[in-house]
Amino acid sequence: MKSFDIPVFYRSPVISKIKNYRKISDPRKKDYSPTVLDFGPVIFYIARHFGFCYGVENAIEISYKAVEENPDKRIFLLSEMIHNPDVNNDLISRGVKFIMETSGKQLIDWDELNSKDIVIVPAFGTTLEIENKLSQKGIDPLKYNTTCPFVEKVWNRAESLGKTGYTIILHGKYKHEETRATFSHSKENAHTLIVRDIDETKILGDFILEKISLEEFNTFFKDRLSVGFNPLINLEKIGVVNQTTMLASETQAIADYLKNIMEQKYGTENLKNHFADTRDTLCYATHDNQRATYGLLELPADLAIVVGGYNSSNTSHIVELCEEHLPTYFISSADKILDCKTISHYDFHNHKFNVTENFLPEKNPVKIILTSGASCPDSIVDEVLQKILSFYKNTKPIDQVLSSLNLN
């Protein structure tokens, strides 16, 4: 796999070394068990896969290249390049400005742009409507296009299915940039409908099996359909694709459910004419990070710390997996660990911050799961590890621990 030229300050002396070792020792990714760092009074379980993925490193490399190659031009990002505040803030410090918020709210009017400006397309991709708007202003939207190749793979699969008469069922969050972009590309070649989760999918299934009325269907899905969508006709042939940062297991459950619905409707012998197998669109990085989280949870631990941007979809899914099993703290940086007893962490379910006292149990050793989302730099995870280590006396030196694992 290609290696990327990203700023060295995103790397780290501990975490990056562990990840590189695991990559070399397990190139085929058969082992999802965590790396165990035993410092004596505190033990860290480090996920087999986490942090920057191929798409994120590709986006970072292109973005910094845009800054380097255009010192005398105005440089804009359509919205956050990735969902990590440190990466985005560093680009802002270099003069990059944001045109929109991630929700789509306009920050800079399109009329302020001109043909001399540079516009970077974020890793989530963008809509065809915005691409056309930029082109009309004389700005090449593809010159610094950081769209993740795996997002584009979903677009291509949707296109090929649409051209053979299939309707696309898109599993994603309606307002997420990637889902908006995928919907825009998909609807050019296929009738497209967005579902958020398995519960919404069951409503779709009920309509296909004629358990609810057309009026009920249209009322529920009215804002999530491509123009001209006719559910009486356009649900005879379907295929499922997803926002790549969703839970892979949830996307597969949705696909399996709809496959069963179409089998009930049209019979096993006719299933292949009504349901497309789209498992090849699942993002490998999302899959690996989630599999690695399951691997973490097989070991007995006292708590989990998940590091990443609070608006990061893939990070929130890792948090969900962890919090089903043990106390889990979602933080953006080491600064959120206020002292040896207190942590300020984000509750993404209710969109608020909580402060928890005595988050580190008084026992020896304390066992901590440590992982992060796909847009989180290794250096930030490293800072979290080192801050927690600073709270304990008589810990083994980092070099000694790494040496015991042949990582030094």
Encoded tokens for 86: 């440190």
Query: What pLDDT, on the 0 to 100 scale, is given for residue 21?
Result: 87
pLDDT of 277: 83
Residues 103/351, Cβ–Cβ less than 8 Å: no
What confidence tens digit (pLDDT) does each residue in 69-82 have?
999 999 999 988 77
- What band does 381 get if pLDDT is binned at 50, 70 and 90? very high
**What is the band of 408 on the pLDDT scale with cuts at 50, 70, 90?**
low
- Which residues are marked as active site? 178
Q: What is the CATH code for 54-136?
A: 3.40.50.11270
Q: Report the pLDDT value the prediction gives residue 87, as an integer from 0 to 100.
A: 86
Average pLDDT over residues 365-389: 94
| Predicted local confidence at residue 3, as pLDDT | 61
* Total Cβ atoms within 10 A of residue 86: 16
Give the strand order in the sheet containing 75-77.
Answer: 97-98, 75-77, 118-120
- The conformational region for residue 40 under phi > 0 = left, psi -120 to 50 = alpha, else beta, is left
Provide DSSP, 267-331: -GGGGGGTEE--GGGS-HHHHHHHHHHHHHTTS--SEEEEES-TT-HHHHHHHHHHHTTS-EEEE
Is the CB of residue 120 less than 8 Å from the CB of residue 100?
A: no
107-137 pLDDT per residue, tens: 999 999 999 999 999 999 999 999 999 999 9
Looking at the chain, the whole-number percentage of residues with pLDDT higher than 90 is: 74
- CATH architecture designation of domain 8-53+285-404: 3-Layer(aba) Sandwich (3.40)
Domain locations in the chain as residue ranges: 8-53+285-404, 54-136, 168-281
- Scan for tokens 């999530």, then name that residue: 224
- Return d(Cα 101, Cα 103) in angstroms, integer: 5
Amino acid letter, 216:
E
Summarised one tens digit per residue, pLDDT across range 292-310 is 999 999 999 999 999 999 9
Q: For 76, which DSSP code?
A: E
Output 237 or 60, whichever has higher pLDDT. Answer: 237
Give yes or no for a contact between 146 and 62, defined as CB atoms under 8 angstroms apart: yes
Question: pLDDT category, 103, cuts 50, 70, 90?
Answer: confident
What SS3 state is found at 220? helix
Query: What is the pTM (predicted TM-score) of this model?
Result: 0.83
Structure tokens at 256: 């399996």
The pLDDT value given to residue 20: 86
